[in-house]
Structure 1
Amino acid sequence: MTSTVPSPNPTLPNHTQLPESDGSFVKNFQEHPQSILLTDSIEPILQERHPNGRYCIGQDCGIYWRMTEPPERGAEAPDWFYVPNVSPTLGGQVRRSYVLWQELIPPFIVLEFASGNGAEERDRTPLFPEEGGMQKPGKFWIYEQVIRPAFYGIYEVSRASIEVYHLIEGQYQVIPANERGHYAIAPLGVELGIWQGQYQNVELPWLRWWDDQGNLLLTGRERSERLAAQLRAAGIEPEV
Structure 2
Amino acid sequence: MPRENYRERLDDLRDGVVGMGDTVCDRLDDAVEAAVSGDDDLARSVIEGDHEVNETYLALEDECTELLALQQPVAGDLRLVAASFKIITDLERVADLATNLADYGGPEGGVHPAVDVRRLGEAAREMVADAVAAYAARDPDACRDIAARNDDFDERCRRASEAVVRELLEADRARTEARDADGDADGGATDDEALEASLDEVSQALLAVRDLERIADHAVNIAARTLYMVENDDELIY
Select the structure that is richer in helix.
2
Relative contact order higher in (CA < 8 Å, ≥ 6 apart): 2
Select the structure that is richer in strand.
1
Larger Rg: 2
Fold in common (TM above 0.5): no
TM-score, scaled relative to structure 2: 0.25
TM-score, scaled relative to structure 1: 0.25
